Amino acid sequence: MHRLNRSLLALILAAGLCITGCGNPAYVPTATAPNPSTSLQKVAAAEVAIGQAVGALQSTVIAANSKGLLSDDTTRTILQLSLKISQADAQAIALTQGIVALGPGQMTSLAALFAPIAQAVNDTLASGLVPIKDQATLTAVKTALTTVQALITGLQLVIGG
């Protein structure tokens, strides 16, 4: 569990760097050409980080379930939520793949994709984790889900959703 917490902390660190653009040393904006794709780059970084964070969340709950620390019902609830997040992420990736800048239509589509997901994550964090009795498991799941929540919130800030 200690190693799991370290991994989650590492994920949060990496996600933060991705969002702030520090993980992209190759890109240097020029003074003469305002970068039209800054928002797009941030959204793309968030899409990558959300996929990684959801993978960490799933691994956490599946491992806890296999150890008998998480019931099938609670595991099912969290995995169904993660499935919705991944499907929204996949659609967002398809929307943003290969384009040069985010237009208003794409921003609206992305906002519509992630608004219900963000609400579902908030609801689960607020009340969906109550059945988890093992404190270490609860902390690990809450940390993983909070990371996903932070990444989605960051993406929503970029697109104005």
Partner 1 sequence: MPFLAILGIINEALPLLQAGASIIHSWRKNTDGTVTVSVELTQAADVAAADIKQATDWLTAHPKG
Site map (CB under 8 A) of partner 1, residues 45-84, x = contact: x-xxx-xx-xx--xx--x--x------xx-xx--xx-xx-
Give the Cα separation of 137 and 70 in Å (integer).
8
Element (H, E) at 82: helix 72-96
Sorted by sequence, the CB contacts under 8 Å of residue 128 that are 6+ apart come out as 77, 78, 81
Stretch that binds partner 1, among 6-14, 114-122, 127-135, 150-158 (CB under 8 A): 6-14
Q: Does 20 bind partner 1 (CB under 8 A)?
A: no
Q: Does 31 bind partner 1 (CB under 8 A)?
A: no
Q: Nearest CA to 85 among 42, 61, 52, 41?
A: 52
Sorted by sequence, the CB contacts under 8 Å of residue 100 that are 6+ apart come out as 36, 37, 40
Q: How far is the CB of 133 from partner 1 (least distance, A)?
A: 19
**82 versus 118: smaller Cβ distance to partner 1:** 82
Restricting to residues 101-140, name those near partner 1 by CB under 8 A: none
DSSP state of 30: -
Sorted by sequence, the CB contacts under 8 Å of residue 54 that are 6+ apart come out as 82, 85, 86, 89, 148
Which residues contribute to the site for partner 1 (CB under 8 A)? 6-7, 9-11, 13-15, 17-18, 23-24, 26-27, 30, 32-33, 35-37, 40-41, 44-45, 47-49, 51-52, 54-55, 58-59, 62, 65, 72-73, 75-76, 79-80, 82-83, 86-87, 89-90, 93-94, 96-100
